[in-house]
């Protein structure tokens, strides 16, 4: 295996499936199935999920909601998604732990680095909810920081596109997909991979990122087996 411990970042919107809001049961089960297969390969899996399918902090401002309040509402949305994924995984026989950046003892453990690593070593899937527990930080930033803290080998950003392109492939048919690209090249080209805080955290800690299509069955297992899927972003 190329990777022993991974941090999988999923967007909240990806859980919508074909819906305009909320959680699609089929998509949720599809993702849980892919994650279970990775666990069966002996991979230690940690997950961060966004909350945009339920509430996004930036939308709150347009409703007259204070930015900080809106961000906390968004964090709670990520916990709802995390609980849904946890329940589905447990239903499939996968042991999990849900850890939160905000204290809510009835549903989540508080995030403690050593405890998270111990759960992973015991083969449990660890889901990190509520982002970093602080406003003004995205779930991308949460994914990068948690990956560094748990000493993950790679951040896997599961999206609906199959990698990083030179331009938006949905708008520009001539857009070129990269199989490998450096952090510096992403900066120079101004490509949108993650928010800048999250991306810089990975660069400074030399933590590789793989952007791939999570909706294609088998992609996650191929990556952990070392096959070339999506776009690999590294120092060189």
Higher pLDDT, 58 or 1: 58
Share of the chain above pLDDT 70, in %: 100
Query: 99-158 pLDDT, tens per residue?
Result: 999 999 999 999 999 999 999 999 999 999 999 999 999 999 999 999 999 999 999 999
Enclosing domain of residue 182: 5-234
Eight-state DSSP code of residue 7: E
**What beta strand segments (E) does the chain contain?**
5-10, 44-49, 96-100, 109-110, 125-129, 154-159, 164-165, 177-178, 180-182, 209-213, 231-234
Domain count, the chain: 1
Query: 15-31 pLDDT, tens per residue?
Result: 998 898 999 999 999 99
CATH number of domain containing 227: 3.40.1160.10
């Amino acid at each position: 295996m190329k990777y022993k411990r991974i941090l999988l970042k999923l967007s909240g919107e990806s859980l919508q499936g074909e819906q305009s809001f909320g959680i699609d049961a089929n998509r949720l089960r599809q993702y849980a199935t892919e994650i279970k297969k990775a666990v069966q390969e002996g991979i230690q899996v940690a997950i961060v999920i966004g909350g945009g399918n339920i509430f996004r902090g930036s939308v709150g401002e347009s409703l007259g909601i204070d930015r900080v309040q809106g961000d906390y509402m968004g964090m709670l949305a990520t916990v709802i998604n995390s609980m849904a994924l946890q329940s589905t995984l447990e239903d499939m026989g996968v042991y999990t732990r849900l850890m939160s950046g905000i204290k809510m003892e009835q549903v989540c453990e508080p995030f403690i680095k050593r405890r998270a690593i111990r759960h992973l070593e015991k083969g449990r899937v660890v889901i990190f909810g509520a982002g970093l527990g602080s406003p003004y930080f995205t779930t991308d930033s949460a994914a990068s920081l948690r990956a560094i803290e748990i000493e993950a080998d790679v951040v896997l950003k599961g999206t609906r596109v199959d990698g990083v392109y030179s331009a938006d492939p949905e708008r520009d048919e001539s857009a070129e997909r990269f199989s490998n690209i450096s952090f510096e090249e992403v900066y120079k080209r101004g490509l949108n991979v993650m928010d800048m805080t999250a991306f810089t955290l990975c660069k400074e800690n030399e933590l590789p990122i793989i952007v791939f299509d999570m909706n294609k069955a088998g992609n996650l297992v191929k990556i952990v087996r070392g096959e070339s899927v999506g776009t690999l972003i590294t120092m060189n």
